Amino acid sequence: MHLLTIVVSVIFSCFSTAILGYISLATPLGPWIAPTLALLAWMLLFVALRFGLIRSWAAELAVYSTIAGSVGGILATAVCWTVPTLFFVNPKLWGVMTGQPIIFVLGVAALSMGGGSLALMLSIIWHDRFIEQTKLKFPIAHVIHKTIALGAGLRSSVQLLCGFVFATIILTLQRVKLFGLTFIPSTIRVLPAALGRYAAIRFDVAPLLVSIGFIAGKLVALPMLVGVISKIVILHYLSTVWFTSLSSSECAFAFCSGIVIFGFCSSLPMLVKMLVRGVRACRLRVQRKGCAIKPVASGSKSIPSIAAISILVGFLLWFKFNVLAIVFVLVGAIACAYQLAMITGRIGLAPLGRFATFVMVPGILFFGFTGVQAIVAAAVVELVGGTLCDFLVGQRVVFLMGLNVWHARCYQMLGLVVSSLTIGWVVLILSHRFGLGSDLLFAQRAQARALLITAQSFVWSVVGLGVLFGAFLRIIRVNTMLVLSGLLMPVDYSLMLIAGGLLSCLTKDRRLYEPFWSGMFVSNSLWMLLRALL
């Protein structure tokens, strides 16, 4: 392991953890950070080769630092989509835990290390299945390979830099004053003030939201537009005409809880079918080759596997899970991780939340999980599944480049350690500076999970209407989770995400312009992190 590669890997890990930590708390989306890191690595590689600083191991530096740093992105997404749920379920307990920063950071680090270590061992055990003896394409891996190995990074790197500079200029002009007036106001009123929140747009987060909307494309535009219209029309009507005894927020949360419940129930048969199919495939593989379990049998791999599971078992015991519940969570996490890896290999997406809910809800119903236990179970599933997907993407890149996979795993482990120790501080600093649930840190994914956990406390008539609305969305084939984002998020934020998605739909090939918008969301995220620190 080269010292320079280690240093760059550590920097990339902290960078991706901080960036995705903020994005996952501020928006309902969690984009892959690996392509952006690959562009940064390519820029570093280009400069180093130009000045003759490195030659023989240039490719190794770019690849290993990219796959080490990308671990922090998916880990931050998994943590920020689950752990802050505690704030919405039990604010007092959240205050007690975050009031002891060292304990909170170490607790989150232990959870992250346990889930990530298990995922790394699964990536070793399933390496042949997913990397070598497979037809899975892993689209993200091919993007990284194309950027680094095929020299496709010059144009994209220039775009990335331009996007970063452009967003930085916009954000800086909002702070610079001339004769007492800012060049660009942070809030611009576009409609009459009588319309309240619907009348203004915040420009201090506009680059982030528009860029995320552009990268997500049409996936975001239509569902969030449906959510915004439903919020203005349906929720307003329910709270002012039918359920006047409820506040607007109580009515909205109960209605959205019904949507979440329907989303889980409607996706349950599909998830069960996918898991059964995966178990059957593993069983057939063992029967045909008789060697699928050999990697686990060797001492060099079984000992780390036991150690990884032991970390998670100890963590679950600390939260008073019984033995059957621990077995259920671990088996569920491994089964869901397998299916997530299959989905990532096919289409390049990792729907973490859906599979975490698949384990969390049965745990509440059959094992009596408390709110805290439900959050921990969801976090374990998302951490194991998410980091497994990232590890396999990185190892696929290494396979395409013809590099040493064991060296790659060492760097991935380095990235896991660094990001695990970093993410707790990111959550603490952001939540203390901006406040969870605020406009700047809305934490929509955590709020949606809290709605499911606390659904029994809502007015069931409103919940039932939400279930019916979810069924309607299912019939017209609109993504319920993104509609939920439009219902819960501030309207001005949703409109900026929609604007980015519509702008993406107007371009012939949005992938050509993604680096520019990636530079914008990186700049805005770093800007907000600096605001939190200063």
DSSP 254-304: HHHHHHHHHHHHHHHHHHHHHHHHHHHHHHHHHHHHS-TTHHHHSHHHHHH
Q: What is the pLDDT of residue 291?
A: 46
Distance CA 119, CA 17 (A): 18
- Label each residue of 184-212 as H, E or C: CCCEEECCCHHHHHHHEEECCCHHHHHHH
C-alpha pair distances (Å), 284 with each of 127, 129, 280, 289: 17, 13, 6, 8
| Least confident residue range of 147-156, 324-333, 366-375, 425-434 | 147-156
Q: Is the pLDDT of residue 286 over 60?
A: no
Q: What is the pLDDT of residue 391?
A: 95
* Tens-place pLDDT, residues 37-63: 888 887 777 776 666 655 556 678 888
* Tens-place pLDDT, residues 171-229: 888 777 666 666 666 676 655 544 445 556 777 778 888 888 888 777 777 888 888 88
**463 found inside a domain:** no
**233 found inside a domain:** no
**144 found inside a domain:** yes
Q: What is the pLDDT of residue 525?
A: 83
Q: What is the pLDDT of residue 108?
A: 94
Query: What's the mean per-residue pLDDT of the chain?
Result: 80
* Tens-place pLDDT, residues 287-303: 555 544 444 444 445 55
A 10 A CB-CB count for 103 gives 13
Q: Which residue has the higher pLDDT, 7 or 138?
A: 7
* Tens-place pLDDT, residues 17-36: 999 998 889 887 777 888 88
Q: Is the pLDDT of residue 250 over 80?
A: no
Residue of 394, 412, 328 whose CA lies nearest to 13: 412
Domain of residue 70, residue span = 3-171+268-452+511-533
Confidence of residue 113 (pLDDT cuts 50, 70, 90): very high
Q: What is the pLDDT of residue 191?
A: 55
Averaged pLDDT, 499-528: 82
Q: What is the pLDDT of residue 289?
A: 55
**191 found inside a domain:** no
Distance CA 282, CA 276 (A): 10
**41 found inside a domain:** yes
Instruction: Give the highest mean pLDDT range of 1-5, 384-388, 457-461, 506-510.
Output: 384-388
Averaged pLDDT, 497-525: 83
| Least confident residue range of 301-310, 340-349, 381-390, 491-500 | 301-310
Handedness of CA 453, 459, 461, 466 (dihedral sign): negative
**221 found inside a domain:** no
Q: Is the pLDDT of residue 138 over 60?
A: yes
Q: What is the pLDDT of residue 293?
A: 43
Number of structural domains in the chain: 1
**411 found inside a domain:** yes
Q: What is the pLDDT of residue 129?
A: 80
DSSP 80-100: HHHTTHHHHH-HHHHHHHHTS
Who contacts 205 (Cβ-Cβ below 8 Å, separation ≥6)?
26, 440, 493, 496, 524, 528
Who contacts 27 (Cβ-Cβ below 8 Å, separation ≥6)?
208, 209, 212, 442, 444, 493, 497
As a whole-number percent, the residues of the chain with pLDDT over 90 amount to 23
As a whole-number percent, the residues of the chain with pLDDT over 70 amount to 82
Residue of 502, 485, 492, 443 whose CA lies nearest to 205: 492
Q: Which residue has the higher pLDDT, 15 or 173?
A: 15
**467 found inside a domain:** no
Q: Is the pLDDT of residue 377 over 60?
A: yes
Q: What is the pLDDT of residue 79?
A: 95
Q: What's the predicted TM-score (pTM) here?
A: 0.81
